[in-house]
Amino acid sequence: MRGQRSLLLGPARLCLRLLLLLGYRRRCPPLLRGLVQRWRYGKVCLRSLLYNSFGGSDTAVDAAFEPVYWLVDNVIRWFGVVFVVLVIVLTGSIVAIAYLCVLPLILRTYSVPRLCWHFFYSHWNLILIVFHYYQAITTPPGYPPQGRNDIATVSICKKCIYPKPARTHHCSICNRCVLKMDHHCHILPPALSKLPTSLCPSFLSSVALALGALTVWHAVLISRGETSIERHINKKERRRLQAKGRVFRNPYNYGCLDNWKVFLGVDTGRHWLTRVLLPSSHLPHGNGMSWEPPPWVTAHSASVMAV
């Protein structure tokens, strides 16, 4: 079958090449030369219409699965409301069970010092959970400002068709670009970025037993100065440079301790008490659009940025 197709297409391609060759010569008939010029013009127009600097296999797959993505995004968008209600109901149920069932047992069996410790710790934990969860679900994750030309950008969003600052990615659930986006969390209505998550570290640490694996995973990412998306990007970049005999270094890794300070918004020593151990609605570190280079970045490479 393939051999018959090649036999049929072979003469046609040969005739087309002869026509193009005659079209280049001045002695060919005007009609033939006009047909060749129109053919070349049409080919240029077709290429210009199909040209896309972001084109590639990934773009083709995204375009093919766009209806599926749309359906999933619209269905998942409502999951956030359901999960928030479930979190509130489950948290309220646990508090009610603790007061109605556990507290009478503790009052009868625990000593006074132990009772005071449990009373202080449980209510401190409850206050942190309620306060930081409320802050997390009511604080916007941070979006790139619109209509400004003085912001350093590294690429153009294929969905928004708008400049993206460094570490900014598009959230298909929110249908907007999010500064330093990590992932879309369904127990928090907005997309979760590392910009506002300093508002809820106590909430995450308080449920570490229930979300142990997730807490450890994000603790590793925070220690490396990466988001979930940047981990995959940096992994590909590390392999690409390794094939060339070069070493990849994350331009946003300030060291383990400094990475945690940036994440928690700790600028001074007393902030560990006022911003981490106590309820705090402080603003996150930085503006989410520009990032200071780490100490290992020299002056001549201070402009290194990761998309």
Show which residues are catalytic. 185
Distance (Å) of CA 251 to CA 125, 167, 239, 304: 36, 11, 16, 7
Which segments of 174-274 does DSSP mark as H helices, in order? Answer: 201-206, 212-224, 228-243, 256-264, 271
Beta bridge partners of 162: none
Separation between Cα atoms, residue 168 and residue 290, nearest integer Å = 11
The sign of the dihedral angle between the CA atoms of 211, 212, 216, 222 is positive
Cβ atoms 305, 250 nearer than 8 A: no
Percent helix / strand / coil, the chain, rounded to 5: 60, 5, 35
* 13's tokens: 């391609």
Q: Using alpha carbons only, what angle is made at residue 164 by residues 159 and 166, rounded to the nearest 5 degrees?
A: 135
SS3 273: helix
